[in-house]
Amino acid sequence: MKISVIGVGYLGAVHAAGMAELGHDVVGLDVDARRVRQLEAGRAPFHEPGFDETLRRGLDLGRLRFTTEYEDIAGADVHFLGLGTPQRADGFGADLASLHAAVDALAAVLPARDGSPTLVVGKSTVPAGTARGLAERLERIEGVRLLWNPEFLREGFAVGDTLEPDRVVYGVRDPEAADAEIRMLDTVYAPILDGGTPRLVMGYEAAELVKVSANAFLATKISFINAISELCEATGADVTDVSRALGMDDRIGSRFLRAGVGFGGGCLPKDIRAFIASAEDLGVGQSLGFLREVDAINQRRRVRVVELAREMLGPLRGRRITVLGAAFKPDSDDVRDSPALEVASRLMAAGAHVTVTDPEALKNARGHVEGLVTVEDTAEALRGAELVLLLTEWRRYRDLDPSVAAELVAAPRIIDGRAVLDPRTWRAAGWELRALGRPDAPARAGTQVETAGQPAADEPPAAHEPPAAHEPPAAHGRAAAASTAGPDPAAPLLSRG
Ligand code: UGA
């Protein structure tokens, strides 16, 4: 099928390459000529495991092109809208300006068709009510039908999530009278649906709400465990014990129960705020009042890391602090609303000499925080530090050998902001370790077989990050972790990978 994807940011670029992978003839459009040139040349504008290969395959097979011109996409059967909907500068609501501009530009070139419809398929995250408004405009053109088909991909797993989603949601004007457009979108997604992925058809508003509710639920789950983390700090309990036991209840589930410095990125934070604003606009602000607390808990964790640094160092002015991680999560170079970078900025504002390292996100980080000192090499970044903060749990940081790291720093002090290090092992190697939600006393002997805190990622550990060349390889492996019957203070950090 002939497909266009309008807006080739993170979501749109991955979707365009994914649709080409499914065998369609795809044109990606963006107003950003530089991005279009980059994609045309087969260069990914962001770090996303597996995306480069998918992009190049699409280009090499001649199934994928990019353009800045709406005329080039006018004849497509299906137009996906992949525009960003960031937080408005003047409040919590979503900024829909690029979405509306794209719909105007598309409407100006769409030919009237009889026979099979032209589909416009919204994928952007929008407040409920947006699709119905856009449909009023677009469906005035003969043969044009609008569907809302929210996207649930996660950064770091975007290609897999596009080609093998958990579910596919179609929002339509009237679920009883949308057979033609449903069949057409089914044809686009045929290889996915044939694989057994559930497809749910519902009204526009329900589809819009599914997306924001999903992100709000995930954010709530994270803030819930982080609130418990505050209780753990007050009582001496270890939040990783609580979260592990909670997660074994099938009704709760273990995913998104990782305590730490909280959620960031281009989606969860702005989506919960837009959701609050949208509920208020609808006159039901009270319903989502709790999301303000979810946001506040999340912000507090960032402040708490800075307090911990003060507790360990005293006044921060002039102290040398190394932050491990800049991206909002591992396997991404995205620094939007990154907890790690916000903590780094707060430490800088307090007068500390901060060095930030990250395997992929340093370029973006420098563009984000003025005057940020960045160092590529982990060992180099650790050298001379009086305090180390682990704030993005890249595998190379989880697998750091505490004895090797202790040789590099000026003083072996670390804050584990993601609760992924094994306090016993690090303390045995001479480190003063503090961790969000974890007591300062060493773990009680025999209480845990797994010695590190919590899974470092929501999913099976990503295999794509090779160990850093200068770092000792993770020789111990999952098998070693599983077979460790009790604590062994002499053992280096057990690899979670
Ligand atoms: C999120 C959703 O997970 C996707 O389903 C959704 O499609 C996407 O937003 C979107 O709206 O586009 P993403 O922003 O890639 O995906 O990141 P997540 O994996 O959700 O992680 C968000 C943040 O939560 C990260 O900073 C991560 O470190 C943090 N997190 C995650 C925790 O602090 N604890 C956890 O247990 C899990």
What confidence score (pLDDT) does residue 477 get?
A: 29
For residue range 244-275, list pLDDT tens digits in order.
Answer: 999 999 999 999 999 999 999 999 999 999 99
DSSP 492: P
Q: Between 3.50.50.60, 3.90.400.10, 3.40.50.720, 3.40.50.300, what CATH number should domain 2-197 receive?
A: 3.40.50.720
CB atoms within 10 A of CB 275: 26
What is the rounded average pLDDT of the residues 13-31?
98
What is the rounded average pLDDT of the residues 487-491?
31
Q: Which two tokens stand for residue 428?
A: 């045995």
Residue with tokens 């916000």: 342
Q: Which two tokens stand for residue 379?
A: 């060992």
- State the pLDDT confidence band at 483, using cuts at 50, 70 and 90: very low
DSSP 430: T
For residue range 284-313, list pLDDT tens digits in order.
Answer: 999 999 999 999 999 999 999 999 999 999
Q: How far is the CA of 469 from the centre of ligand 1 (A)?
A: 28
CB of 211 closer than 6 A to ligand 1? no
What confidence score (pLDDT) does residue 439 get?
A: 82
SS3 192: helix
Catalytic residue flag (residue 267): yes
E strands, 325-422, in order: 353-357, 373-374, 387-390, 413-416
Give Dmax (Cα) for the chain: 75
For residue range 370-414, list pLDDT tens digits in order.
Answer: 999 999 999 999 999 999 999 999 999 999 999 999 999 999 999
Tell me which amino acid residue 361 is.
A
- Looking at domain 238-494, its CATH class is alpha beta
CB of 86 closer than 6 A to ligand 1? no
Angle, CA of 310, 402 and 323, to the nearest 5°: 40
Instruction: Point out the least confidently predicted range of 123-137, 278-292, 420-434, 479-493.
Output: 479-493
What confidence score (pLDDT) does residue 114 get?
A: 75
> How many whole angstroms separate alpha carbon 336 and alpha carbon 455?
23
Marked catalytic residue, from 207, 267, 369, 419: 267
For residue range 187-218, list pLDDT tens digits in order.
Answer: 999 999 999 999 999 999 999 999 999 999 99
Beta carbons of 407 and 388 less than 8 angstroms apart = no
Choice from 222, 273, 335 to test ligand 1 binding pocket (greatest atom count within 8 A of CB): 222
CB of 457 closer than 6 A to ligand 1? no
| Residue 483 burial class via C-beta count within 10 angstroms: exposed 0-12, middle 13-18, buried 19 and up | exposed
Q: How far is the CA of 490 from the centre of ligand 1 (A)?
A: 35
% of the chain with per-residue pLDDT over 70: 89
CB of 263 closer than 6 A to ligand 1? yes
Atom of ligand 1 nearest to the CA of 11: 12
SS3 167: coil
For the cut 80, the answer to whether the pLDDT of residue 457 exceeds it is no
DSSP 148: E
| Residue 463 burial class via C-beta count within 10 angstroms: exposed 0-12, middle 13-18, buried 19 and up | exposed
SS3 303: helix
Beta carbons of 58 and 25 less than 8 angstroms apart = no
Q: How far is the CA of 263 from the centre of ligand 1 (A)?
A: 7
Beta carbons of 436 and 419 less than 8 angstroms apart = yes
Atom of ligand 1 nearest to the CA of 158: 15
Residue 151: CA count within 13 A, CB half-sphere: 30
Q: Which two tokens stand for residue 197?
A: 């992925």
What confidence score (pLDDT) does residue 458 get?
A: 55
CB of 326 closer than 6 A to ligand 1? no
% of the chain with per-residue pLDDT over 90: 87
Q: How far is the CA of 166 from the centre of ligand 1 (A)?
A: 15
What confidence score (pLDDT) does residue 48 get?
A: 95
What is the rounded average pLDDT of the residues 224-230?
98
> How many whole angstroms separate alpha carbon 13 and alpha carbon 7?
8
Domain assignments of the chain as residue spans, ordered by start = 2-197, 238-494
Supply φ then ψ for residue 241, to 5 degrees. Answer: -65, -45
What confidence score (pLDDT) does residue 115 get?
A: 78
Buried b (16+ CB within 10 A) or exposed e, 245-271: ebbeeeeeebebbbbbbbbbbbbbbbb
Domain 2-197 identical in fold to domain 238-494: yes
CB of 265 closer than 6 A to ligand 1? yes
For residue range 168-177, list pLDDT tens digits in order.
Answer: 999 999 999 9
Q: What is the 3-state secondary structure (H, E, C) of 214-258?
A: HHHHHHHHHHHHHHHHHHHHHHCCCHHHHHHHHHCCCCCCCCCCC
Q: To the nearest whole number, what is the mean pLDDT of the chain?
A: 90
Helix (H), strand (E) at residue 56: helix 51-60
